[in-house]
Amino acid sequence: MYIIVIGGGKVGYYLTKELVEAGHEVLVMEKTNSKVEAINEELGEVAMQGDGCEVAVMEQAGVGRADMVIAVTGDDEDNLVTCQVAKLRFNVPRTIARINNPKNEAIFKALGIDATVSSTTAILAHIEEELPTHPLIHLLTLRGGGLELVEMKIPQNASVVGKKLKEVLLPQESLVCFVYDAEGIPRLPNPETVLHAGDEVVAVTRQEYEPALRTALSA
Amino acid sequence: MGCGRVGAQLAGMLSREGHDVTVMDVDQSAFRRLAPDFRGRELLGNGIDQDHLRMAGIEEADAFVAVTQGDNRNVMAAQIAKHIFKVARVVCRIYDPKREELYHTLGLETISPTILGAQALKEALERVEV
């Protein structure tokens, strides 16, 4: 595959390295000359100096034949415009944008970017996992539809402890997919499944019902 | 959005005509460019941040203009105003003529000072008598 990476910072560098090692044809576009030189020295001639948002620069880079454009700069507006230009002007089949400010996730989706990766949200999720009283962990945002896979631990004093799943009132469009206990033994849930304190529940829910799901399982 | 020379000038003109104007900029010192008779509101904030836009009253706004130094910031803000907040009139400045052409065909009302400036200069040159 021919993949163009926009932004040669830390994320861009390691992404490029991984893609090159996987055998893809990769071009990374970066504004700062010193970064371009450093990348070319370490990864071979894969970096090009230029503003990935400039249509003329994109043309030079051969965006027209790219299978994928991945924009990973630290500026959301640049990532958005790069992906829109690639998709709408050059008909690139797949565009992926990094989002730095989680507030922008909904905007990117509304403006037609295929896939987004929110670096801040991802880091937060990993830190949450390490917190002793994590309320709800985001595991994955499912492509399209605004569905999310989340994980939650049932607290000691939750009202759902000892109840069967069929007795638990979950918010709409939320499903418990799978449960595992403190020993890590997984159970496929059915209406008769009893929830215990300390159980980890993996559920699918819609973004807007997430607070309601949290309340249902922990209050 | 954007209180540079153009933003400040435009805000002054609209304010003088009696419109209710809010000017946003991320830099407090930018508001010094506003004319002394500017009657509108100055708001320190980022035009690509939905919460800041709400504070600026975008939900009640009849028009939105993006004139910061960054083409992409203008494009993103204009799209947020148009598609998320459904502002009726949205105009966006884009220096890069090719990007301007693209977003224009996508339905944004766009102005490219590069093209307009070059045209004006050319016409002025042609008017000069030798």
ipTM of the assembly? 0.85
CB within 8 Å: A80 and B50: no
CB within 8 Å: B98 and A56: yes
Tell me which chain B residues have a C-beta less than 8 angstroms from the C-beta of A85: 99, 102
pLDDT score recorded for residue A201: 92
The answer to whether A88 contacts chain B (CB < 8 Å) is yes
Rounded to the nearest integer, the mean pLDDT of chain B is 94
Tell me which chain A residues have a C-beta less than 8 angstroms from the C-beta of B79: 107, 111
Name the CATH superfamily for A131-218.
Regulator of K+ conductance, C-terminal domain (3.30.70.1450)
Q: Where in chain A is the domain with CATH 3.40.50.720?
A: 2-122
Cα separation, A171 vs B85, in Å, equals: 28
Give the pLDDT band of residue A122 (cuts 50, 70, 90). Answer: confident
Least CB–CB distance from A85: residue in B80, B83, B99: B99
Q: Which CATH architecture has domain A2-122?
A: 3-Layer(aba) Sandwich (3.40)
Shortest CA distance from B73: residue in chain A: A77
Cα separation, A126 vs A128, in Å, equals: 5
Give the pLDDT band of residue A136 (cuts 50, 70, 90). Answer: confident
pLDDT score of A49 more than 80: yes
A184 phi-psi bin (left φ>0, alpha ψ -120 to 50, beta other): left
Distance to chain A for B116, nearest Cα, Å? 19
Q: Where in chain A is the domain with CATH 3.30.70.1450?
A: 131-218
Hey, CA dihedral for A48, B103, B81, B10, is it positive or negative?
A: positive
Give the pLDDT band of residue A114 (cuts 50, 70, 90). Answer: confident
Q: Where are the domains of chain B?
A: 5-127
pLDDT score recorded for residue A69: 94
Per residue in B73-96, pLDDT (tens digit) is 999 999 999 999 999 999 999 999
Give the pLDDT band of residue A133 (cuts 50, 70, 90). Answer: low
> What is the CATH T-level fold of the domain B5-127, as seen in this structure?
Rossmann fold (3.40.50)
Per residue in B6-18, pLDDT (tens digit) is 999 999 999 999 9
Nearest to B95 by CA among A186, A53, A175, A98: A53
Mutation target vs B (from A57, A73, A75, A81; most B CBs, 10 A cutoff): A81
pLDDT score recorded for residue A134: 59
Nearest to A200 by CA among A215, A179, A218: A179
Distance to chain A for B129, nearest Cα, Å? 36
Per residue in A162-206, pLDDT (tens digit) is 999 999 999 998 999 999 988 888 989 999 999 999 899 999 999
How far apart, in Å, are the Cα atoms of A182 and each of A27, A177, A198? 46, 17, 6
CB within 8 Å: A55 and B49: no
